[in-house]
Structures are given as C-alpha cells and as structure tokens.
Structure 1
Amino acid sequence: MTGQLGIAISSSSIAVGARCPWARSRVGAVSTQNITLPSLGLLALDLLEQQQLDPATALERVCASDIFHEYRQVTVIDNRGRTALFTGREALGQHHAVAGDQCVAAGNLLASPQVIQDMVATFEASPGPLADRLLAAMMAAMRAGGEAGPVHSAALKIAGDVQWPIVDLRVDWTEHDPVLELAELWEAYRPQMQDYLTRALDPTAAPSYGVPGDE
C-alpha cells in the first residue's frame, strides 16, 4: 500500500482537469462531475479532514450545501478506501456510478453503463502503481464506448506524502485521443517524478535540471 490517492478523468468539455478532480494527501480524492461545481470537491475534502467524517456523511453534507445538487455527480474516496457516490436526477444522458474495491467510478453522457463497470473491473484487476491502474481503467472505459460523443480533455491527479499533488497531468483540448495523450504524458513524467520531489524537498541533493546553463 502506497497511501496514494488519485483520479483519472476525461470529458467532451475543455480542460476537465481544471474543474473536476480533487485530491489531498492522507485525506481523500473527490470528483465533481456533470454540471460541475468545483467548490464541492474542496468542501468534501475539508469535511473528511477537519471533521473526520466518513465519505457517505461528507457527501450528504456536500449535497445539502448545494441547492442545485440534483444537477451534480460526485464521487468520494477517503484514505481508508471507503467510498461514496451521488448522481442527481438531472444528470445528463446515460449515467452510472459503481463503488469497487478501493475505488469508485462514475460517468454521464455515457455510451452505455458498461463503461463504468469495465472501469471498476479493470482497476481492480490491474497491478502496478496507482497511475498505471487509473489509466488502465480509463482505457478500458474508452474501449467500452466511453462518452457517447467525442472526448476532448483528460486529467490525472495523484496525492502522495507531500502537500501538493505528486502527479498533476492534463490534456486540456485535443481533437484526437486525450486519454492516450495523457498516458503518454505519464510515461514521460514517470522517470522524472522523484527528481521533482527531491528538488522541492532538498535542492542540495537534486540531480541536474537538464536545462541550458545547468552544469
């Protein structure tokens, strides 16, 4: 167990990573979807951390705070692997949400509910680092049909032992395959991730920055 918490997400809308995924070290991860209200993610994490609420109670409080909660879709997982999910009556298109072992998945405007089932099954069956498992689940979802229309943006956010995300990668807009581009970004970032942590925590131990003038 690494203690990492994370989210992978894609959308037909631009810059999904700017609005929907929220993760906090040693606390939890939240996705705010559908007709998104980003502040719900921060509120859920605050309730998990400051009031020590379980995900179900935190999500109930979050929904009660928002008069338009029936337009939202929200998922929560805490640092103990407990989950909660909510899909409002005004969720767009075909929608589905499933809690699995140490994971929760949800979507709207889906090609079919099987998309979410495949996400959970693939995450549960996949080995390796959290980022690999999340991306494998996203790719399985796309193979199952993904969103009913074209997908244009994707994001991967993971919290580790430090206060800031150890992975925060985004494809804000592409006409091609944002999930594939996101996976390629992760493969480029993976070998550098520890170096960036070292540079932040102890610059004297940092490797070369690899830029002109750094010798």
Structure 2
Amino acid sequence: MTFSLAGRCVETGQIGYVVATSSVCVGARVGAVAAGVVVFSQARTDPRLHAVGLEAWRKMPGDAAGALDAMKAHAVALHWRQLGVFPMHGSAAHHTGASCLEHYGGLVGAHSMALGNFLGTDRVMPAMVDTFEGSKGPLALRLLTAIRAGETAGSEREPLQSASLVVMGADDLREVDLRVDYDTDPLARMGHLLDDWLPKAAAYRTRAIDPDNAPSSASVESR
C-alpha cells in the first residue's frame, strides 16, 4: 500500500527517492540510498532487504539486476514483496510479487523509476514518471512535485499518513533527509519542510566539509 519514486540528476550527480503510504512512519521501512544507488523494499516490506541490496551493489557496482537478485534471494515470501534498485548510471531493475494488491507494478523512465501497489488508478506511476522527466530544478523538488502528481492521479486506495524524501549528494552527504511520520496530508507537510530546509542545506554542507568557513548558526537559521 505504497507508491514511491527514485530519480537522478545527471547535472549535479545527486540521486534520491520519495515515498508515501497510508500507514505511519514509512521512512523507517521503505527506501535506502547510498552513493550511486537507491534500493526499495515495499508492499509487505522487509527493511532488512535494503542492506542486502546495498551490500550487493558495493560488491558489484553498476549491476542493478544483480543487486535485485540478491534481495530476491534473501526475501521471505517473495510473492508479497515489491523491490527495486535504481542506479545513478545504467538501467534500473524491479520486482513485484504476485500477491501485491492492484493496481501495482513498476515503471522506468529516462532518469526515474516508480513503484506502487494498492493504487487508486493505473495512472499513478505514469503521472509520477512523466512529471519528473518533464521537470527542472533541484532534485528534491522534482521528486516531491512528481509524487504529488501521482497523488492527484489516484494516490493509493486509503488516505495517506506518512512520507519520506531523501537525496544523496557528493562526499556521501545527504542533501535532504526529511520524514513526515504521521499527518492527514503528509505530502503537503513535506512541502512545508522542504521549503524550510532547502535554503539552509548549503550552509550545513559547508559545516561538514569546511567548518572553518561555515556560516554562523544565526545566519543558517535566518530566512
């Protein structure tokens, strides 16, 4: 009962994902990102499979299908699992088990991959991919705009409660790492959080890589 979107920006080298669902705390269960790859475990999710996928990717960088195979091999009751591997470069790979609830499946675009199950219509994934591929600007905003298009196109069959948005940048630093664990309109709430965070993100990156030249706390917090 989840829909998600992974995306990459070839100009900045950033990669990330956004996910929403009708239960609480989706950020604790769905999605993980490392340098160069996003992995998903959703539907009847097993968050332990994220580590399996990332470890397989480290051993076989560039082999999304191989990382997906490793996740599938470790999965209990694979027919309930929806899994995905989306790389910074190359082809994505995904799996949807036969017991997942319709509408379900995956859709890969030029620089994105959508997954979903128990969706309200079959237009949700195309709306996400088309919106992402047709947009410009910061990757986090493109991801959020795209999943909101999926929400408008049908969302899932029960009201959304939680969302998560993560973007990995250079130097193994997360440019964005936001969660809404419970809200009656989690994607709108995520938009408010992102609006507040993005003007501050560069300053916090500088604190990590060049603290001697980082702005003061006052200037970071000012809007």
Normalised to the residue count of structure 2, the TM-score between the two structures is 0.89
Give the Å deviation of 1:72. Answer: 0.8
Determine the C-alpha separation between the residues in 2 that align with 1:35 and 1:162.
33
Listed one character per residue, the Cα deviations across residues 35-67 of structure 1 (whole Å, up to 9, x for unaligned) are: 111121121122112222511121022101213
Listed one character per residue, the Cα deviations across residues 109-142 of structure 1 (whole Å, up to 9, x for unaligned) are: 1001210111111111011111111011111001
Determine the C-alpha separation between the residues in 1 that align with 2:19 and 2:176.
13
Determine the C-alpha separation between the residues in 1 that align with 2:29 and 2:42.
8
Counterpart pick for 2:123 among 110, 114, 125: 114
Q: Which runs of 5+ in 1 are unaligned?
A: none
**Amino acid of the structure 1 residue aligned with 2:148:** M
Matched, 1:208 2:220: no
User: How many pairs align?
Assistant: 209
**Amino acid of the structure 2 residue aligned with 1:107:** G
Could you say which residue in structure 1 is the equivalent of 2:4? none
- Secondary structure of residue in 1 paired with 2:18: strand
Could you say which residue in structure 2 is the equivalent of 1:56? 65
Shift of the 81–179 alpha-carbon distance from structure 1 to 2, 3 Å rule, reads: farther
Q: Which runs of 5+ in 2 are unaligned?
A: 1-10
Normalised to the residue count of structure 1, the TM-score between the two structures is 0.92
Determine the C-alpha separation between the residues in 2 that align with 1:125 and 1:82.
19
Answer yes or no: is the 8 Å Cα contact 1:153–1:171 preserved in 2.
Answer: yes
How do 1:6-155 residues align onto structure 2 when only pairs under 5 Å count?
6-25=16-35, 27-52=36-61, 54-155=63-164
**Amino acid of the structure 2 residue aligned with 1:21:** G
- Secondary structure of residue in 2 paired with 1:162: helix
Give the Å deviation of 1:165. Answer: 2.0
Answer yes or no: is the 8 Å Cα contact 1:81–1:103 preserved in 2.
Answer: no
Determine the C-alpha separation between the residues in 1 that align with 2:90 and 2:27.
22
Matched, 1:187 2:195: yes
User: Hey, which bits of structure 1, 4+ residues long, moved more than 6 A?
Assistant: none
Determine the C-alpha separation between the residues in 2 that align with 1:65 and 1:53.
20
- Secondary structure of residue in 2 paired with 1:210: helix
- Identity rate of aligned residues, in percent? 37
Counterpart pick for 1:2 among 2, 12, 30: 12
Determine the C-alpha separation between the residues in 2 that align with 1:162 and 1:69.
35
Listed one character per residue, the Cα deviations across residues 179-213 of structure 1 (whole Å, up to 9, x for unaligned) are: 111111111100000111111222211111129xx
- Secondary structure of residue in 2 paired with 1:199: helix
Answer yes or no: is the 8 Å Cα contact 2:100–2:117 preserved in 1.
Answer: yes
